[in-house]
Amino acid sequence: MAGTEDWPGQQPELDEDEATYCRRWGAQHAGARELAALYSPGKRFQEWCCVVLCFSLVAYNLVHLLLLARWEHTPLVMLGVVAGALIADFLSGLVHWGADTWGSVELPIVGKAFIRPFREHHIDPTAITRHDFIETNGDNCLVTLLPLLHMAYTFRTQSPEALEQLYPWECFIFCLIIFCTFTNQIHKWSHTYFGLPRWVTLLQDWHVILPRWLNYPLEKVGFWRRLEDLIQGLTGEKPRADDMKWAQKIK
């Protein structure tokens, strides 16, 4: 759950001509304007549906977890919170690295819907601060729908005795879902330099949100570089080629 500047993976090396093309970052960059224009009413509708469904299921599952809570669950629940945060940190980094490094906006379905925001963000890093709650969190809510539905189904179909045994595991899954759901919101806050609520700035100052928990060990062992080399060797695709194409647009 690190900031844009701290997301894993190598940055592309620019020659002199590429650097000239890429100097005009921001909302007025030609690539940024074109990418922003690809945000469609259909995409907006999908995000609204996902946000409403996601938070309805979060509320449903939270109520059941609270009703089943026991003091003796506390140690395992606390462990689940920490594990959920760490795994969400890795998964969000993996997804961000993958969307940053591979794929194209021209890909059917996923290109305009899911890769486009990553390309826009690299050209216009503050664009995310102009996105409302729905646009910021819609895709993350989509990703978490299946595990939330499975959890709700478990609460509806399992016996009280079975739920007692499953409780620590369900708490872990719930925490993992919550952290994954809000990674984009936390990312947005990292680029919002004015007007944040005091409780958000306190969490940032205390490194509760946006810490680089797993960046150091993964970078230390060359995890991202080795993974890029492996994929490039298998597919022949050059990392961040599509990213550079959009950055070089000048009109």
> pLDDT tens across 53-83, in order?
999 999 999 999 999 999 999 999 999 999 9
Res. 24 pLDDT band, cuts 50 70 90: low
pLDDT over 50 at 18, yes or no: no
What is the domain partition of the chain in residue ranges?
A: 23-238
pLDDT over 70 at 3, yes or no: no
pLDDT digits (tens, 9 = 90+) for 112-149: 889 999 988 888 888 899 999 999 999 999 999 999 99
DSSP 159: -
HSE-CB for 216 with a 13 A CA cutoff:
3
CB-based contact 224:97 (threshold 8 Å): yes
Question: For residue 212, what pLDDT is reported?
Answer: 57
Question: For residue 178, what pLDDT is reported?
Answer: 97
User: Distance (Å, rounded) from C-alpha 226 to C-alpha 230?
Assistant: 6
pLDDT digits (tens, 9 = 90+) for 74-119: 999 999 999 999 999 899 989 989 988 888 998 888 898 899 999 8
What is the DSSP code string of 71-140? Answer: GGGHHHHHHHHHHHHHHHHHHHHHHHHHHHHS--TTSTTHIIIIIHHHHHHHH-TTGGGGS-HHHHHHHH
Res. 5 pLDDT band, cuts 50 70 90: very low
The residue among 154, 156, 179 whose CA lies nearest residue 167 is 154
Tokens representing 88 are: 């969400």
CB-based contact 88:144 (threshold 8 Å): no
User: Distance (Å, rounded) from C-alpha 179 to C-alpha 88?
Assistant: 6
Question: For residue 25, what pLDDT is reported?
Answer: 65
